[in-house]
Homo-oligomer: A and B are copies of this chain.
Amino acid sequence: MRDGINTPVTNVPGPPPVGENMLIAFLGPFGTFTEQAVWKVAPAGAELIPVTSAAKALKMVHDGQADRAVVPIENSIEGGVNATIDALSKDGKLTIVAEMLVPVRFVLAALPGTTMSDVKRVGTHPHAWAQCRGWAEDHLPGVIHVPATSTAAGAELLGSMAGSSGELPFEAALCNATSVERYGLVPLEEDVADNRGAVTRFIMVSPPGPPPPATGADKTTIQVELPNDEAGALLSMLEQFSVRGVNLSRIESRPIGGEFGHYAFSIDIAGHIAEERVQAALIGLHRTCPKVTYLGSYPRVDGIRAEVERGTSDQDFVDARAWIRSLIANG
């Protein structure tokens, strides 16, 4: 078997196949933005399994109890979803095979008969609250936030009180549009959000396996720990990319070792692991960083093709190697 991995790999077999009905674990419950994300990629016949944390969804795939997991990884306003990033890198074996975007739009929903002036407390997930707090201060002055474990959970709890004589935990829920009708609520206000363009990015995660084939518009997600003992370690790490003309579309630091000052970086590379320049950068990282975790190469949902700078195409690498071989053989 040949050793020359820098050669472009053309016959990538793709992610592991699944049985008749794909089992997809997702950050539930039903009615969340994550469920919306699932339906963007779920094949016909897929069965959805809502779970209570991103870590649990990923663990089901790890343990073979689900074929895929769908979890949020980044929000355009709030930044990275740490629970997902940390769980993925801790597992270290699972691979991302797709990404999906879902616009963040909330509905302020209540039991029928409720009016805006009735609303003194709003139940929702803290992240949803963070994205609507400005709106709430403007439209519901003095309103109190009651935390729920998810946007859907708040809606479900409120809906379950229909017809009950018990005291309501809150008068309205901030939730996903799909949760309103599902839980018997009515909208008081639609399209609520402090930032109109907010978007959440979700990923579909598979058991370990080859990546989907390169499309020319791909991402590769990795996590890199830096050497502790080098000033300028981050600079050196970034040079491993720049010297091969590889661009990054996301970089986030995560603490490691439970100590301040030690970081790993979660990174999205513009390019596919089957491309030479990406391989060369990864080889450089593997040689010089204490830990590099590969988390998958997959098509970009925005379809933006990687810019291939002069001297960084696959052919440039192939030609350069042929030149070295010829020098060693013939001078």
Contact = CB atoms under 8 A, between A and B. Distances in A.
Contact of A324 (B5, B83, B316): B5
B323 A77 contact: no
A273 to B, nearest CB: 6
A322 B234 CA distance: 25
A12 interface: yes
Given A3-B2, A3-B321, A79-B255, A284 B243 contact: yes
Interface in A160-213: 195, 197-199, 201, 206-211
Contacts of A331: 15, 93, 95, 206-211, 294, 296
B323 A286 contact: yes
A21 interface: no
Interface string A277-297: 001101110111000001010
B12 A328 contact: yes
A243 B239 contact: yes
Contact of A252 (B243, B252, B294, B316): B252
A11 to B, nearest CB: 10
A43 to B, nearest CB: 20
A98 to B, nearest CB: 14
A330 interface: yes
Given A211-B328, A235-B242, A324-B273, A260 B201 contact: yes
Chief secondary structure at chain A's binding surface? mixed
Q: Which among A195, A210, A328 has the greatest number of chain B C-beta atoms within 10 A?
A: A328
Contact of A317 (B207, B252, B287): B287
B9 A6 contact: no
Interface string A64-88: 0000000000111111101100000
18 contacts: A2-B3, A3-B318, A4-B7, A5-B325, A9-B328, A15-B331, A74-B255, A76-B259, A79-B82, A79-B254, A126-B126, A145-B149, A234-B238, A235-B242, A253-B253, A279-B324, A286-B319, A287-B312
